[in-house]
Amino acid sequence: MSDSSSNTSRTIALFDCDYHKFDEHLEFYTALGFDIVYYQKAPYRYASVKMDGLTEIGFYGARNDREGINRGGCYVDVPDVREVYEQLRANLKAYFGRIPVKGTPRISRLNKTAEDWRVNITDLNENTIIIGESLGDSTTLMQEEEARVKALQSKFEKLYASAYRFAYSKEDYFAARNTLEVAFHKYVNDGSNEYVVKARVLQAEVFDALNQRDRAIEAMTLAKEIVVSELEQAALRTTYERLKELEQKDI
């Protein structure tokens, strides 16, 4: 599997996956646009997939694969994550006729964190590939974000920042939901209208990800009922765009 024509070292991520779902697992990667560059069924199951300009990943079929065990992940740094994101979505739509955004396998929306723009891909065995476009030195940016959140006077805004990171950086929607529940129950009067709108839209997205569509609709309704100033409305442009996407989503 080595490329003798190149003297450049490279790293190939290696994930375990369910031996009995091995081929179904590979299908998702071919749907994304990866090519299968190595495949064997015996004496053990192993395959490698590659997408030019992105990455190569290897898979080992584990017979003792158990839910929640042997999960892997890697981060792929790219110069233009939006271009990659649109390509992956188009490939999935062409292959499956839809874009899987819930359950496994799935692809997340493109999200902005403190350190990057990123999209998370979770395969059938819950391995996660984060494809990101860096906004700068991650250590420095995270330190700056921690200092910014620590300096916030509003407890509501601090909890919103935590919930945002749970949802968009870690895809831990239960933690995001619970954090937002506390924010709205105890500290909603401590938040500006701008941040309350942001939190309601985030809450709607979290409920939607957890298949709680009725609660998502309720959160969206509450977000639209909040009166904001013209200045706040301008600051909330991307938030309202996301709200519109959620309203129009075909579940």
pLDDT for position 69: 53
Residue 166 above 50 pLDDT?
yes
State yes or no: pLDDT of 228 exceeds 50. Answer: yes
- Looking at the domain that runs over 13-133, which CATH code has it been given? 3.10.180.10
Q: How far is CA 212 from the centre of its chain?
A: 18
Question: What single-letter amino acid sits at 185?
Answer: H
Domain ranges of the chain: 13-133, 152-246
The predicted pLDDT at position 193 comes to 94
pLDDT score of 138: 86
Cβ atoms of 153 and 58 within 8 Å: the answer is no
User: Mind listing the pLDDT tens digit for each residue in 111-155?
Assistant: 999 999 999 999 999 899 999 999 999 899 889 988 988 898 999
| 127, 171 Cβ separation under 8 angstroms | no
Q: Is the pLDDT of residue 247 over 80?
A: yes
Residues 68-86 pLDDT 10s: 555 788 999 999 999 999 9
- Span 57-66, pLDDT tens digits: 999 998 875 5
Confidence of residue 48 (pLDDT cuts 50, 70, 90): very high
pLDDT of residue 71: 78
Of the CATH numbers 3.30.980, 1.25.40, 1.10.730, 1.10.760, which one belongs to the domain with range 152-246?
1.25.40
Instruction: Dihedral sign for Cα 100, 103, 106, 107, please.
Output: positive
Lowest mean pLDDT among 13-17, 172-176, 194-198: 13-17
The runs of H, that is alpha helices, within the chain are 22-32, 81-96, 138-151, 155-168, 173-186, 193-209, 213-225, 230-235, 237-248
Give per-residue pLDDT as tens, 177-224. Answer: 999 999 999 999 999 999 999 999 999 999 999 999 999 999 999 999
Give Cα separations from 158 to 133, 173, 206 (angstroms): 25, 17, 18
CA angle 74, 114, 236 (to 5 degrees): 125
pTM of the model: 0.81
